[in-house]
Amino acid sequence: MKEVPVILFGVGGVGSALLRQIVNGRSPLATRNQIQFNIVAITDSKTMLWDKAGLSDEQLLAAVDAKTQGLPVDPARQARPSEAKIVQKVAEANLDSAIFVDVTAADGLEPVLMQVLNRGYSVVLANKKPLAGAWETAVPFYNHPRLRHESTVGGGQPVIATLRYLLDVNDPIYQIEGQLSGTLGFICTQLDAGMPLSQAIAEAKAKGFTEPDPREDLGGKDVMRKVMILGRMAGWPLEASDIEVESLYTPDLANLSVPDFLGAASQLDAAMKERVDEACVNGQVLRYVAELSEGRGTVGLKPIPAGSPLANMKYISFRTGFYNDEPLLIGGKGAGVEMTAAGVLGDMIGLVREQ
C-alpha cells in the first residue's frame, strides 16, 4: 500500500466532490489501487487546513460541508500562506512524492506549479489557465511526465488519455474536432426548435447550465481554451490568435451588466433566426463546433446535417494516421463536478502508478 500526500488548491464544486470521492471510497480505492491518499493540505482563496500526517476524514468532510462559508479557519494560522509557502512547507516536512492538485480557476499559478515540478513533486490540473496562457509560459507543462490534466477537456471523459495514447504510439494527428460545450449544445437544440436566441439563453441560465454571466459561455473563450490544450498536446505551438472564435453576442453587449445583457439580448434574435432558417432549408442544424488542424482552428457555429450522428451529441473526435477515414470519437455528456473530480482522481492514481 502506497501512502501518497496530497495538497489540494481549491475547495469549490470539483474540490469538494474530489474530497468526498476519496473519503467515501477509501476502502475500494485502496483495495483496487493499493494507494492511500493522505490529504495534508486544502486551501481556498481565504485560508487553509494543514496536517503533515494527513487531515482526518472528519476534518475533510466538515470542510466540504462548510465550503459555502469558506474553510473553517484554524485560529493558529488564520492567514492563508501563499501557494509558494505551501510548497515550502511540504518540502520541509519531507513529503516525498506529494501530488499537488489545482482545481481552482485561478490565474498566475504557473510559477508555483513550476516550483512543484522542479522539486520532484507531481501536479494534477483541472484548472485550464496554466495550459492555455502564452505558449512560452505554458510549454513546460505539456508532456511533462509528472503532470496530468485529464479534466481540463471533456470534464473527466478520457479525452486527454486518448490523445496521449495516440501520440505515444506515434500516430500523427491530422484534425481535432468537437462540440465541447454542453451549454452551447443546449442552446443550439433550443434554436432548432424555433426558440429565439435570447429566450434560449434565459432558459439555459434559469436551468443553471451557464456561468453566472452567460457571456462567459456565449463568447466561446472556454471552448477555445480546451481546443488549444488539445492542439498544443498534438504538437502545435498555438497562441490564442491562431484560433478564430465566433462570439454569439455582439461587441456592443460586452460591457452591460448581466441583467441589462439579458434584456438587450433580444436584438440578437433576428439575425440568428435567419441563420437557423437557412440551415433548416438545407436539412441542417447549427452547432457550436471547434475545429483544429495543422496548427490553425476555428470555434463557432457551423451548419451540419440534421441526421448526422454528431448533431445531437457532445463529442470530441480525432482524425489521425490510423483513424483517418472515420475519426476516433469520445462522446456523451461529460460534464458536472462528479465526473470532473473523477478525472482528477484518475490522474492521481495514474501518476502514482507511473512513479
Residues within the interface to its own copies (CB under 8 A): 21, 25, 28-29, 32-33, 143, 156-158, 161-162, 165, 167-171, 307, 309-313, 315, 317, 322-323, 325-334, 336, 338-339, 342, 345-346, 349, 353-354
Among 128, 226, 302, 314, the one annotated catalytic: 226
Q: Which long-range contacts (CB under 8 A, 24 or more apart) does 197-205 make?
A: 197/248, 197/265, 197/268, 197/269, 197/272, 197/273, 198/262, 198/265, 198/266, 198/268, 198/269, 201/262, 201/265, 202/262, 202/265, 205/262
Nearer to its own copies (CB atom), residue 108 or residue 145: 145
Nearer to its own copies (CB atom), residue 27 or residue 255: 27
- Smallest gap, in angstroms, from Cβ of residue 312 to its own copies? 5
> Both ends of the chain: CA-CA distance in Å?
14
Nearer to its own copies (CB atom), residue 78 or residue 143: 143
- Smallest gap, in angstroms, from Cβ of residue 271 to its own copies? 29
Nearer to its own copies (CB atom), residue 272 or residue 328: 328
- Smallest gap, in angstroms, from Cβ of residue 165 to its own copies? 5
Nearer to its own copies (CB atom), residue 59 or residue 317: 317
- Smallest gap, in angstroms, from Cβ of residue 112 to its own copies? 26
Nearer to its own copies (CB atom), residue 18 or residue 224: 18
How many Cβ atoms from other residues are within 10 Å of residue 327's Cβ? 18
- Smallest gap, in angstroms, from Cβ of residue 265 to its own copies? 28
d(CA 72, CA 326): 52
Residues 6+ away with beta carbon under 8 Å from 164: 233
- Smallest gap, in angstroms, from Cβ of residue 150 to its own copies? 9
Residues present in the chain in total: 355
- Smallest gap, in angstroms, from Cβ of residue 261 to its own copies? 30
In the structure grid, which three cell numbers stand for residue 176, read together? 481535432
d(CA 160, CA 151): 8
Query: How distant is the alpha carbon of residue 351 from its chain centre?
Result: 19
- Which candidate, 152, 183, 195, 168, places its Cα nearest to that of 339? 152
d(CA 180, CA 316): 7
Q: What order of strands is seen across the sheet that includes strand 35-43?
A: 48-50, 35-43, 2-9, 99-102, 122-125, 147-148
Active site residue 226: yes
Question: Are the beta carbons of 83 and 107 closer than 8 angstroms?
Answer: no
Active-site residue list: 226
